Every structure is written in C-alpha cells, then in structure tokens.
Amino acid sequence: MLKNSVTVTSLCLSLLILGGGVLSAAEDSSILGRHSFNEAWKFHNGDVDGAEMASHDDSEWRSLDLPHDWAIEGPFDVKYNARCGGLPFHGTGWYRKTFDVPTASAGKKVLLTFDGAMYNAHVWINGHFLGNRPFGYIEFQYDVSEYVKPGESNVVAVKLAPEDLSSRWYPGAGIYRSVWIDYRNPVHVTHWGTVITTPEVDQDEASVSVSTTLDGVADGNTATVQYTVLNQDGDVVATDKVKSSAAGVTAAKLQVAKPQLWDTEEPNLYTLQTKVFVGDQVTDSVEARFGIRTIEFSKDKGFFLNGTHTRIQGVCLHHDNGPLGAIANRRAIQRKLEIMKAMGVNSVRTSHNPPSNELLELCDEMGILVQVEAFDVWKKPKVENGYNKYFEEWSERDIKDMVRRDRNHPSVFMWSIGNEILEQHSAKDGNRIAKQLNDYVKEIDTTRPTTCGFNWWPMPYKTGMAGQVDIAGMNYKPLSYGDPVNEYLPDTPVVGSETSSCTSSRGVYHLPIEKYQTHPSKQVTSYDIIGPPWAYPPDIEFDALEEHPEVLGEYMWTGFDYLGEPTPYGGKDNSTNGYWNADWPSRSSYFGAVDLCGFPKDRFYLYQSQWTSDPMVHVLPHWNWEGEGHDVIPVFAYTNCDEVELFVNGESQGRKVKGKDLTKLPIKFNNYESDHMLSKYRLSWDVPYQPGSLRVVGYVDGQAVAEKEIQTAGEPAKIELVPDRKTINADGSDLVYVTVKITDAEGNFCPLASNEVHFTVDGPGTIAAVGNGNAATTAPFIADKREAFNGLCMLIIKAGKQPGEIAIQASSEGLAKATTAVNVKKH
C-alpha cells in the first residue's frame, strides 16, 4: 500500500506572483515581479540568416501576440502527414521581440521564462546565445541579467525547428504557450524554489511543511523568510518566520486548524505568502495557491481521496484545442474541462506529455485530479524524429523539471514516466530505464505514486518492468484485471491507464448495426461499437471495473477528439516513418466522446450514464430517415435511471429496465472469444420508422425524472446562434464559443444539414477560428465561413482589449439570417 498525505501549492504564474523589493523609487516597485511577455512579437515562417542579431531588420515580419501556433493556419495538404493533422507543423520559424528594459532594473535579476515552445527552441538575447531546449512541452528559464541593457532597447530572438515525423499526433508549431519576464532583487526565491507538503492531516489540524530555496545568498550571509497562510476568505490562518541557511535554504512547519480539504467536489484552496528579508528590508515576495488533501492507493481496495473511496472516472486528453490548434488559451482549456466535468469526469491523464500551466491551475480550481505524463517514447523510436533523439541527453532534466514545476498542485496525484514504451520488449533496457526514471521522480517528490502505461501484455509484467513503478497502468487489458495481473504483481495497484478507444463521428449512423473496419464515407457510426483491433466498446470496461472494484478506475481514450491520428483511417499505430494519407482527407481523431469543436457525441451520454447521478436520459439516432431505405430503426437509450420508456408520436413502445433488459452488441477485439456482448449499460428497441416525435422518459422508483425528445425536421430554413457566454473579459485573449445550429422553419434541429454559413463580427472582437467537428475535411480553421456538419458548426471569437459589444451575424443562402451579441467588459 502506498499512502500520501500531501499539501500542494499551485504557482499561478499569470495571476499570483507579485514583486517586492528594496524600494528607493516608485519605478522600482512598478517593475519588480513577474510580467507577461506575450505582446508585440514579430514572426517569420522560414529560416533567416542573422535573425538572432539585434540589428536584424524585422520590419517586414508579421506582428502578433503570443501564444501562437503557426501551423494551425494551414493549409491542409496531402503532402503533409494526416497522422499529424495534415498541417505544416514542421520547418523553421523565427520569433523576435524588441523591448525596453527599465533603468530601474540595473542591479536586479532579469529572468525570461518560456512555458513551452514547439519544437527544439534556440534562444538569443541581444545576439548572445542563451541556450537550446529541444522538448516542446517543457518549461524553461534563462537568467538574462548580464546581457540586457537597462534604459535601452533589447531584442530577444527565438528559432524553432520542429521536424517532420517527430510526433504521432498534431504537436503544433511555435511559441504556443506564454512567455514571462521577471525583475527580481539579487536575493529572491528561485524558480520552482518553494515546496509544500503536509505530513499530517486530520479534521482538526494540518501540518504544512514548507521549504524554500533562495538565490543570491552567499559568503555566509543569511536571509529571513516570513511565511503566511491565508484561507479562501483572505484570513490569516498560520504564520512563521525563519532564517535561511548559508546556502539559502529555509524550512518551516505551520499548523492550520480545522483545514478545509481539497477534493473533487469542493476544491478548497489556500494561499501561501512568502516574503524574503535581508535585514529589515523585503527583497522578494511571492504568493502561491495550495490545497490540503490526502491520497491513498490500495491494491485490494482502490484509491482514497481524503479517506473516501474514489473511483477514477478519467479521460486522456491531448494538448491541442481543436480549431485553435496547440495554443494554451485559458478559456479554451477551461471550456474543455467544463464539458468533461459535465460528462462525469473527475480525472485527466495528460497524454502523452507535460501539460500547460493553465490546465493544472484550472484543475486545481475545478477539482479535477491529474495524472501528469512525461514521455511517449524513451530511446526506441515510434517515429523517425521523435523525442528518442533527445532522450539520452535530456530525459533526466526534463522529467525532473516537470516534477519540480508541478509538484505543488493539489490536482496532481500521479506521475507517469511513459506511454506504451517500445522498451517493453526488452527486459534489460525496459527495467533499467523505468527504474532510472522512477528514481529521478522520487528524488524530487516522494508524496505521489509513479505509473506507466503498459500495453504489451504480459511482457512488462513478466520481466518486472511494471514493478519498477508504484501503480501498474494497463492499456486496453480489461480481460487481464484480477488474477492474470495479480500473478505477476500481487502487491501493486492497477489502473486502466488507457481504455476503450471506441471511435465515432457525431451524428452519423450506419445501418445495419455491424462491426466494420472502415466505411466509404470516411466517417464512423455513432452506435458506439467501432474501434481498431485493440479497442472495445465502453461497455466492456464498465463490466470489467464492476467485476474488479479493486482497480483504481479508468482513463478512456479520449475525452475530446484531437488533431491527427485519424484511426481507423489512414495508417497503423506506432508505425515508424508512417504517413497516414491513404484515406485523405481524414486528418483528425474519431476517438473522442466529444468532437473537435466540443459538441458531445452519443458516447458522451453513455459515460454520463455511468459517471453521474443527476437523472439523465439520452436517445439515438436522429429521426430523419425518409428515403434511406430503412423500415426498422434500432433506437438506443443511455440513462442512469432505473427504467426508460420510449414513445413514437406519443405511442409507447414499452419500458425497459436498466441492468435487466440487455442490448446485443457486435464485439471483435484482441483476445475476446465471443462475437458479441449482451450489454446491461444500454437499452434498445427496434422501431418501425414513421416521421414525427421520438421521446424517451427515464423513471426512478416509478417516477418520471428525465426525458429527451427528437423531432423529425423539415427542410433547413433558419440559423440559430447560441453563445456559450454573454459576457467575456476585455483582455485580448478571452473567448466566446458560438454554437451554430441549422433548424427548420419551426425551430426543429436539422440533423443532416450541411449548409455553408458565413459570419461577420463587429465590435471589440475578432474571429479566432471556425470548425464543425468533421474529421475528414480540408476546410480551413482560420476563416469567416464554415459548412455545417450534421446540422452544427462553431464560431470562436476572441475578445479585444476594449470594452463594448460584439455584434455577430450569420447568413447562408436560402436560410434566414441570425444575429446575437456578446458584451466585452473589463474585469
């Protein structure tokens, strides 16, 4: 059994780190601390001789703000790899920024921090080479104090060189995460220099252990550090003041009475204020959020959060944000997590790389547990130019930096050292590297368990590789839960680290229901039965987890569709040097329970029926089947109610009882002996088709508590615009997602509509992107029009920096125009 009691702290860099200092002038106080460095960059797509020099003329380069992903602008082209989204993410790109360094910074430390740059970043300032960081997902910082010129203009230049065949999915390209500049006094808290844990937690009191490392303490001098803990109301709940060692390290233990614990239902957060004194003068001041919670993992009983048994209801998520590309936009990530929480998700696996700061900050705030994953490959390549090229030189630094950065987040509860690593076949290399990476993690953090996603059953279990981590991650092996895995790992907890891999296209229904490999339409039926050879419908995993309550839970593949990897079209997974263009234009994932725009597929509701308790019922398919040649339509219902009754045009088709009335599903995946499953997780009827109303009613204890109705739609006649929010922030980065629905004259949703919709936007906002969730189209994301896919498309608008009203208009030939408005306000 592995038990952790952990208090964790979130370095909310964009909001919470403040400056303090030895202030002799007002301008000193205005510069000290952390500042966004995202505005007013210049960009050039292509290589340029001499662009690292401050004197280089970049006046003709494109002006933009960060974060930026140059590849998402396209165009899609079959000459690029559909496995990576069919977009031009490789090549060379240059970014430059000319900026003034205040005179008051003389004698201060000037630090430049990149949250992430894709890929193989080389950085110069005023022509001086600062360094190279190959891994595109890792945060890195440079001390530029001796190279900047206070009171003058300075130039930072960044060259990025992402390679073709460097990723198995769409990685993006560019400085796609935020950049920061810090001005600090010589004596200050180091980067990631504060560590917080809680060795004892109970309902009466929590011990908060804090350690801080300082820069600038030397020659026998010491500093004093004052710690103050504030609750969510801003009240002081603990304080202490300690002297540093000569090496600049401090340690303290504070007691918090009646702690408010962080969990998935009530993510209570505290704030730690750290002030550094030299003599009686403050030289640095930082703030960081943290939460108090305990985690416990048991081989026999599962996972416990604050002593309460908690089943992991998790999703794997890639880092891209659909039509926006790879940019780490806070609102885009927040919306993604909101949709996942509505499905019942309580945990995210950051497949297969370190996540953005924004994702972890939001998971802290929203109560979502996170398994942070380091690598998709070690030394053996899956693609020609993958991280394997850098593993030997960089893996220790990268994984340690990942843990240092993220160890104080309450949401982070598990470290993954890799995914489906090809060294699983090598007893010598697999064991050695797994132990090495595990040891690197434990050097930095012993309060959380390690895991790894293993898929080559039973090799890594037989060789002992899976025993090198604390929790065995089992990818697509529900038939091996229990005795099979216990034979090899009798004492190691198990989690379904990647499950199901069911594929589907929103709103697509192929009849008859049958298991096929691919379909001529380049779409996949949404009856939720199709997947690649290793994959299976969600029902298989539900059944296995019900049979094995000791398994910690699952991370289904995937919560959202993502760019690239258009399985089952185009290619074979893990094919070195593989281009997936055989089924062009299929260029993005079908795996998601939610499509690339965030529109739920039917599978969203299947998971919701298992993972939520508020009464719900969902019915499929659509009810527009005229002229399709199908007299009888299979109707499915997903529910968490006891029973469901189906009505067609008001006439009952009978009630079905969940768990008793079973639905036969065609099944075919590796090592599954039958050709079908009788699922207790779905209810079904075979219904003679007649246009009109399809309605389902869910009952609990005989009482109707939920219902859903679908109407047969007439010809498309109108556009309906539905913004996800009516007020957004005038900060230059906030987003509003506008759902665009095609309806008939009476307002009924048209589930087969494909009308092209044109958009105009007036006021303090601009079109950021458009999309429709279709995985097989080359229509650009950066545009002012979009064709509906099965009745829906999406308009994404980015706020400007001035308050006002954004007026939005949508038009399409033959349809009535639609308008809506969104307020932009300063917060």
Catalytic residue among 287, 498, 554, 645: 498
Catalytic residue among 358, 420, 554, 643: 420
Taking the CA atoms of residue 751, residue 757, residue 760 and residue 764 in that order, the dihedral angle to the nearest 10 degrees is: 40
DSSP string, 357-400: HHHHHHHHHHT-EEEEE--S-SSS-SSTTSTHHHHHHHHHHHHH
* Helices 538-547/602-611 angle, 10° precision: 10
Nearest one of 96, 103, 24 to 54, comparing CA atoms: 96
Residue 697, helix vs strand vs coil: strand
Q: Are 226 and 196 in contact (CB under 8 A)?
A: no
With residue 330 as reference, give the H or E element that holds it: helix 330-343
Bridge partners for 555 per DSSP: 314
With residue 442 as reference, give the H or E element that holds it: helix 427-444
Nearest one of 599, 529, 522 to 560, comparing CA atoms: 599
The C-alpha atoms of residue 419 and residue 475 are separated, in whole angstroms, by 9
DSSP string, 513-566: ----S--TTS---TTS-B--TT---HHHHHHHHHH-TTS-EEEES-SB--BS--
Bridge partners for 7 per DSSP: 292
The C-alpha atoms of residue 461 and residue 478 are separated, in whole angstroms, by 15
Q: Are 770 and 781 in contact (CB under 8 A)?
A: yes
Cis ω before 319 (30° cut-off from 0): no
The C-alpha atoms of residue 402 and residue 350 are separated, in whole angstroms, by 12
Locate 672 and state its tokens. Answer: 């599954």
Q: Are 237 and 256 in contact (CB under 8 A)?
A: yes
* Geometric angle at alpha carbon 703, from 698 and 707, rounded to 5°: 30
Q: Are 273 and 260 in contact (CB under 8 A)?
A: no
27 is catalytic: no
The C-alpha atoms of residue 458 and residue 425 are separated, in whole angstroms, by 10
498 is catalytic: yes
Bridge partners for 173 per DSSP: none
Bridge partners for 795 per DSSP: 738, 770
Radius of gyration of the chain (CA): 27
Phi and psi dihedrals of 171, rounded to 5?
-90, -20
Sheet holding 683-688, edge to edge: 617-620, 632-639, 683-688
Burial bucket for residue 240 (CB in 10 Å: 0-12, 13-18, 19+): middle
Long-range contacts of 577-580 (CB under 8 A, 24+ apart): 577/165, 577/383, 577/384, 578/83, 578/383, 579/81, 579/82, 579/83, 580/81, 580/82, 580/83
Place of tokens 């987890």: 545
Nearest one of 433, 464, 463, 469 to 451, comparing CA atoms: 469
The C-alpha atoms of residue 536 and residue 529 are separated, in whole angstroms, by 7
Nearest one of 507, 539, 500 to 523, comparing CA atoms: 507
Nearest one of 708, 137, 764, 636 to 406, comparing CA atoms: 137
Taking the CA atoms of residue 520, residue 522, residue 526 and residue 531 in that order, the dihedral angle to the nearest 10 degrees is: 90
Q: How far is CA 596 from CA 560, 570, 573, 602, in A?
A: 6, 18, 20, 14
Q: Which residues are catalytic?
A: 420, 498
